[in-house]
Amino acid sequence: MRAMVLAAGRGERMRPLSDRTPKPLLPAGGKPLIGHMLERLARAGIDDIVINLSWLGAQIRAALGDGAAFGVRIAYSEEGPVPLETGGGVVHALPLLGGDPFLVVSGDIWTDFDFARLATLDAAADARIVLVPNPPFHPRGDFGLDGERVIERADETLTYANIGLYRRTLFADCSPGRFPLVDVLRRAIVAGRLRGEIHRGEWMNLGTPEQLATLDATLRRMRER
């Protein structure tokens, strides 16, 4: 199975740190955010990685190279000067992603989720996503669960963790261009073909300098134990 790590975005909320350094390369605990992700994927046995590039993408390519330092093999999907957003980025990278299924994760999250758990999809689903309890910055959540079926509305909502396993058929009707992945997920919900699971372990979305500083302090404490 191959994985795509989303790394093309501008990182507006992370400014001014992201003005000169792409957000996935910002350091936490002594290594870049995307480095933590690559190492976790490698530990799960997922070592063929596609990374999309746009904002300051040359820096990411120069820092990660072929991926050998992180135990993976990297192919790059160049999007040009304007990022294609999450959904458009996946569609643009499909020629590099091989057969079904493939994993898509954001390069600016930190988690202890075991990616080996997302190895298969049942025949009734086009995708399986990971959801987490709503963090303070997103109290309304995104989706609900009815068993394992993801639904749009529920008494208890959860937050999409920016981790998912997808079939190519999910993107069959998508045209090239800029659009968010959530548009595709909502169509799958309507069709009843989106499954999900809850991760109650460690998960952080690194959107702001303050969140990055919190993770950096946490990882340094962990390393000192």
Residues counted in the chain: 225
Measuring CA to CA, which residue among 112, 144, 115, 146 is closest to residue 131? 144
The domains located in the chain, with CATH, are 2-224 (3.90.550.10)
In the predicted model, what is the mean pLDDT of the chain? 93
Euclidean distance between CA atoms 197 and 132, whole angstroms:
8
Which of 13-22, 85-94, 148-157 is least confident? 148-157
CB atoms within 10 A of CB 77: 23
Task: Please say whether the beta carbons of 34 and 3 come within 8 A.
Answer: no
3-state secondary structure 166-179: ECHHHHCCCCCCCC
Q: Residue 180 contacts by C-beta under 8 Å, 6 or more apart in sequence? A: 85, 86, 87
Q: Residue 224 contacts by C-beta under 8 Å, 6 or more apart in sequence? A: none
Task: Identify the pLDDT of residue 95.
Answer: 96
Task: Identify the pLDDT of residue 181.
Answer: 95
pLDDT digits (tens, 9 = 90+) for 56-88: 999 999 999 999 999 999 999 999 999 999 999
Which residues does residue 74 pair with via DSSP β-bridges, in sequence order?
49
How is the chain split among helix, strand and coil, in percent rounded to 5? 35, 25, 40
Q: Are strands 127-132 and 194-198 parallel, antiparallel or unpaired?
A: parallel
Burial of 46 (0-12, 13-18, 19+ CB in 10 A): buried
Which carries the bigger pLDDT value, residue 99 or residue 73?
A: 73
Angle ∠(155,120,101) on CA atoms, nearest 5? 100
CB atoms within 10 A of CB 64: 24
Euclidean distance between CA atoms 51 and 57, whole angstroms:
10
Runs of H (alpha helix) within 67-117:
85-93
Question: Where residue 122 falls among pLDDT bands split at 50, 70, 90?
Answer: confident
Q: What is the mean pLDDT of residues 188-198?
A: 96
Task: Identify the pLDDT of residue 71.
Answer: 93
Q: What is the mean pLDDT of residues 8-20?
A: 91
Q: Are strands 102-106 and 159-166 parallel, antiparallel or unpaired?
A: antiparallel
Q: Are strands 2-6 and 48-53 parallel, antiparallel or unpaired?
A: parallel
Q: What is the mean pLDDT of residues 189-199?
A: 96
